[in-house]
Amino acid sequence: MAGTQSSPVSGSPISQKKPRQAPRRLPLSCLPCRQHKLRCDRQLPCSTCTRYHRAEQCLQNPAPARGRKNVGGTRRSNTGTNTDTDVEGIGAIEGMGANHHQILISPSAYQAATNINVNGGSVEHGLPPVSRDVRREGGGEQSMNDVHTLSALSTDSRPEGDSGRLVENVHMETAKGLWKKTLVKFLPTRTQSDILLTYFIEHINWIFQTVHIPTFRKEYSNFWDGEIEKVDLIWMSLLFTILSLSALYIPGDVVELVGLQRGSIRRYADTWHHASRQALQAGNFEEKPTLIQLQTFSVTQLYWYATNNIEVLNSRMGQAIRNAQALGLHKDRVPARNVDEEMRHRLWWDLVDSDTFQSICLDRPPLIQVHLWEVPFPLNCNDVDLGSDFAKPHPLTEPTAMSMNIYRARVFQLINKALVSDPSQFRSYKFIVDLDRELLRVMEKLPWYFKLDTDRKVKLFPGAYDFLPWQNHILRTCVSTQRIRMYRPFLADQSNNSFNECLAAVEDALLVYRTLRDDKPMKSQQKFYPQAYQIFSVAVTLAALLLVERIIPQAAQFRVDVQTMATDLKVLEDQASPVPVAANGHRVLFKMMELFEQGDTCSPEDTERLVPDISIILGGESSTRAYLGRRTSHGLQHQRMLGQTTTVAEQMPSAQGQGHHHAADPVMNTLVDDQDLSFDPMLEPGEGMFDFDQFQLEDPYELFSWDMTGLLSDATTGMRPS
């Protein structure tokens, strides 16, 4: 093939039909694509070579640049230095060739840093192989392809004379330096990173609030202005996971304005996620735990929930708790006096919440026994209220970004204590009633900004505080779904009040969602997207009640609620977001409603097929299977109990065309005594003490006027209908 291309040919009609043989025609593809007769997108390396693991060959023989431009979206100045072109943006990162503002890597350094053979397990040029941790995590072919891309791997060729032997005397610092050079290649341009970071700050960080934004901004600026050799790999892992989350949800209109392709931004989410994991491994995070790696874990939780990798999250949970234990987070005793101490408390309670929630979902004992320790709750403050030598908390009657997390921690403190003291107590109806009263007592003490108004609707907030109703949504759905889980085993007993308690919990779970949806369509509310798993959980819980209990007073309304949530989840799929909980979740919900409408013709085999998809929501496969198994034998018990004579068909009007109803350390695995929890005194919200109209909502450090926020708002407003 190469000889044919280089042979001179006369200007006969036959030769004119074969322009590729013309001696002076400049080829438009890289050499591997020409040899294999494949389409080339002229990136560096091109996506075709990346897909077939020929990235190294493509780098050595790239497609010639058109005119004066170089391949990869960069141009070369008269001085020979590469200049960032923000409009081209991540065109170069399609294959890892992006050049960045003041972070420039020569082709020789790049080739040295990426010459790896993963399959053979060899290390060339002193670079360690991609960790098994990263390769195994995804569990599928796509994940392996992404790891090969991460390594610029070439499996079908080696440099001539390369024996594949291990290099002797590989120094850890040298290996880290080479990994830094490799991983930097995966970053988008600074302008593109800015907009992805801004999206994370505004629409995602409010969920956990475990990243102190002023500190991160300072480190972020130093990162772009510094040298590769000084990059902290652990910090880079945090940056990569932030980028990956934003890439899952950010509107395509926004990224197109800064040179990112609408169709490719979602693929970068997985690539950046694996880059984050590799940065942790290359930074030896297990050798010396840091708070930053715990921040990476905290943020990455949302990625695992979105991609339905719950088992991966569970395994990483144990690792994160061990690291927190090594840092002594569980031994803190005094309220935070500066930002470092406050972040320790935030991360500890985030681990408590997550571990307790996982124990509920996976039917396992909690790893943390929180009542053995006296770690203070996080302070009720915004990030701007924290500094290296000060912490200025607000009273709980004033809303801050941390308000919801304080009450969520109190809820999970109660549940954690009940789970670790004696799990068998959950088989006692009296115990469930007592625990439920304690949970409701916490909810009754919510401050005014989380209270319902006289019409049983939640308060909506403008501007920089529009996250408050979404935090209210998280808090109420968290408590309500747990209450339903506790009462579900007792629904077969007609002599108790469990059925009415479940109905009340469902109503409370849906109140905020209905209000938010009545306010504006979900597809225009960006804070809706990272909440996809939460919304799916509520919908599955409600759909299971309808499917098993069959006849309930609000069945028609609840069915519309489930269908509405399923339709809203489909919005993510319509935007090409690769979030399984959305892409598959709405199908699961529609299937559950289809089985519900089948009535008595629904077979046990049909419900059994639902178990793998919904067991993580309902508390494990055994409890899910047991609950769904009640459908045949006890399906009409509540019809008899409530004295209802109407049939399912009579009670269930068609939802077509209807709108929404409403416009080894004792920190882990230690046997404990059953003892009462003592809470810190909570401030009671004073009646009339703080009126909403008088409360000045401000953006103290101009978070939402930073970088691309205006661009985000304009693009979001002008989103095309799905």
> Whats the size of the chain, residue-wise?
722
Residue entry with tokens 């319902």: 452
pLDDT score at 24? 54
What separation, in Å, do the N-terminal and C-terminal C-alpha atoms of the chain show?
47
Strand pairing report for 390-391 and 75-76: unpaired
Give the pLDDT score at 173: 66
Helix ranges (H only) for 151-232 are 172-184, 190-203, 213-225
The amino acid at 85: T
| pLDDT for residue 61 | 83
For the chain (length 722 residues), average pLDDT per consecutive 10? 41 44 66 84 84 80 62 33 34 34 32 32 33 38 34 32 41 78 92 94 94 96 90 96 94 85 86 95 90 97 90 92 95 96 98 93 89 94 96 96 96 93 87 95 95 85 89 93 91 88 90 88 86 88 88 85 90 78 85 88 85 85 85 50 38 37 39 31 34 40 39 43 38
Q: How far is CA 18 from CA 13, 24, 128, in A?
A: 9, 13, 46
Give domain status of residue 540, yes or no.
yes
C-alpha to C-alpha distance for 352 and 322, rounded to whole angstroms: 13
Where does residue 24 fall: left (phi above 0), alpha (psi -120 to 50 degrees), or beta otherwise? Answer: alpha
Position 229 in a domain: no
The pLDDT, as a whole number, for residue 552 is 80
Residue 468 lies in a domain: yes
- Say if residues 116 and 64 touch (Cβ distance below 8 Å): no
In angstroms, the CA 250 to CA 193 distance is 12
> Which domain, by its residues, includes 614?
422-432+446-659
Cα-Cα-Cα-Cα dihedral sign, residues 134, 139, 144, 150: negative
Which pLDDT score is estimated for 4? 40
DSSP 690: S
Q: How many domains does the chain have?
A: 1
Given this model, what pLDDT does residue 82 score?
A: 34
Specify the pLDDT at position 606.
86
The string of DSSP letters for 588-601 reads: HHHHHHHHHHHGGG
- Distance between CA atoms of 430 and 418, rounded to whole angstroms? 13
- The pLDDT of residue 256: 86
Does residue 641 lie within any of the structural domains?
yes
Q: Count of CB atoms within 10 A of residue 510's CB?
A: 28
Question: How far is CA 695 from each of CA 202, 401, 449, 683, 689, rounded to the nearest angstrom?
Answer: 21, 15, 11, 18, 11
On whether residue 506 sits in a domain, the answer given is: yes
Task: Say if 32 falls within a structural domain.
Answer: no
- Output the pTM of the full model: 0.69
Residue 11 lies in a domain: no
Q: Are strands 75-76 and 82-83 parallel, antiparallel or unpaired?
A: antiparallel
Question: Which amino acid makes up residue 697?
Answer: L
Element containing residue 558 per DSSP (H, E): helix 555-574
Q: How many CB atoms lie within 10 A of CB 597?
A: 17
Domain contains 617: yes
For CA atoms 498, 500, 506, 511, give the dihedral sign. Answer: negative
Looking at residue 129, the DSSP 8-state letter turns out to be: P
CA dist 288 and 563 (Å) reads: 48
Q: Rounded to an integer, what distance in angstroms lies between the CA atom of residue 161 and that of residue 124?
A: 13
CA distance 573 to 523: 11
Residue 111 · residue 181 · CB < 8 Å:
no
Are the C-beta atoms of 232 and 176 separated by less than 8 Å? no
The token duo for 557 is: 């309304």
